[in-house]
Structure 1
């Protein structure tokens, strides 16, 4: 399955690389667009020293951790949101009759390798923040766990959003609220949001485990909302539960799909 996934990615990458100038420009453009989010953070801290009690470098750390996970998923998984287009066009049947998982085919469909510029930008921000902060090296083991947990959570969100389109057929704004909206929310300390919203993204939709809860552990900070310390380590468990729910939702969506007959 992994080999098939890589081969499909390579096929689209080789096609894009046949136009090297365009490929390079689009990669640089993705890097620049992603940098605008950092520019917003820098503008905020040009007018204040802290944001909800967090310094600039701490906010950049939280942003970088969430963005590395998100941009990796945006690069390698996000094309699954094209499922509604295939349903309307009647081309989804083609994916279903092939001896390869429809999920793998859809995530690699029209793979755009130049999105890697966004991944590089996010990695640079995370690296800078970790260098600038006086982190306890004994806590930094949590950083790769954060990134992997975030990848699983964002992948699950994209999969659930894709599964939802089997019922809604044409609702791209709904899928964007699941995915891009979740990324926007996780870019900043959750302490800037209302307590009820934070409770919802902790105990219902576990977005707090992308970077907030584990990030508090890395930074050696208490949760302003008073959640117990053991919550900092529940990210992998929360990601696993969400992944299982996403897999179930996707399976149900595919099983209840009815061909257009075209």
Structure 2
């Protein structure tokens, strides 16, 4: 049943092709504004956070792919407070389908593929322009890092959704993890203040999503407390995050007692 409903929702988004193309273009335009911000920073300073413009674009491309895919699949989880407040969550809980699966498939937005496509284009171009070797180790990291980043961002979206069971209109608190993590992942971490860098490494592992793998691929020295071995920790960290956040999610669902209406 879930597969049929998901297929119907996805097809409905592409029925009006002009509107769908406009939605994709808006996502690309949004990504271009973020690219312009990085360009402006590095146009006046040839090296920003220890990286050149081309190297910084590797970071951006990797982060854009990871966040775009996670936002498309898991992005609706950070708005679960609306379902809690309106009582819609009670309707979902009585269905014979796992709640998390229902929420994930309820609003998959294909327009977010625009950001993914832009990120992929920038990523491929920047890797070639930066002269990254095409050895088996490098190719493995090139493929695995964005996928691990997608899982990490997905866990952050689930964490943001889980917080809604304890906070009243806590979507802004959740955004600090998701969209704050996206910004931290998209820029060279060497430009972040040390306390911020530590937070976005060991609390919200945003630097592991793109900066550390990109630095290893392009030969950029890593600032303290980062280490080249961390480039390969994306998947283990994602698994650990999902285990922790999954427990938080289950605790929140058990705590939910209804909208009171």
Q: Identify whether the pair has TM-score above 0.5, normalized to the shorter chain.
A: yes
Distance 1:103 1:192 in 2: 37
> Contact (CA 8 Å) 2:57, 2:122: kept in 1 or not?
yes
Query: Do structure 1's residue 81 and structure 2's residue 71 form an aligned pair?
Result: no
State the partner residue of 2:216.
217
* Cα RMSD (Å): 1.7
What is the correspondence of 1:1-262 to structure 2 with a 5 Å cutoff? 4=2, 6-138=3-135, 139-225=138-224, 227-262=226-261
Superposition deviation, residue 250 in structure 1: 0.7
> Contact (CA 8 Å) 2:20, 2:111: kept in 1 or not?
yes
5+ residue gaps, structure 1: none
Superposition deviation, residue 261 in structure 1: 4.9
Helix, strand or coil at the partner of 2:48: coil
Distance 1:7 1:51 in 2: 48
Distance 1:226 1:81 in 2: 30
Distance 1:218 1:190 in 2: 15
4+ long deviations beyond 4 Å: none
5+ residue gaps, structure 2: none
**Against the structure 1 CA distance between its residues 80 and 198, is the aligned structure 2 distance closer, same or farther, given a 3 Å change threshold?**
same
Superposition deviation, residue 147 in structure 1: 0.7
Q: Which moved more, 1:111-120 or 1:227-236?
A: 227-236
Give deviations 1:19-49, integer Å, cap 9, x for gaps. 2221221111111111110111122232221
Distance 1:99 1:142 in 2: 39
Q: Which moved more, 1:37-46 or 1:117-126?
A: 37-46
| TM-score computed with the length of structure 1 as normaliser | 0.92
Distance 1:213 1:72 in 2: 20
Distance 1:132 1:233 in 2: 23
Give deviations 1:119-176, integer Å, cap 9, x for gaps. 1111111111111111122223201111111011100000011000011131221121
> Contact (CA 8 Å) 2:212, 2:226: kept in 1 or not?
no
> Contact (CA 8 Å) 2:190, 2:223: kept in 1 or not?
yes
Helix, strand or coil at the partner of 1:81: helix
Helix, strand or coil at the partner of 2:223: coil
Distance 2:51 2:66 in 1: 21
| TM-score computed with the length of structure 2 as normaliser | 0.93
Give deviations 1:164-199, integer Å, cap 9, x for gaps. 001113122112111111101111110001222222
**Against the structure 1 CA distance between its residues 205 and 114, is the aligned structure 2 distance closer, same or farther, given a 3 Å change threshold?**
closer
> Contact (CA 8 Å) 2:77, 2:158: kept in 1 or not?
yes
For these two proteins, the number of residue pairs brought into alignment is 259
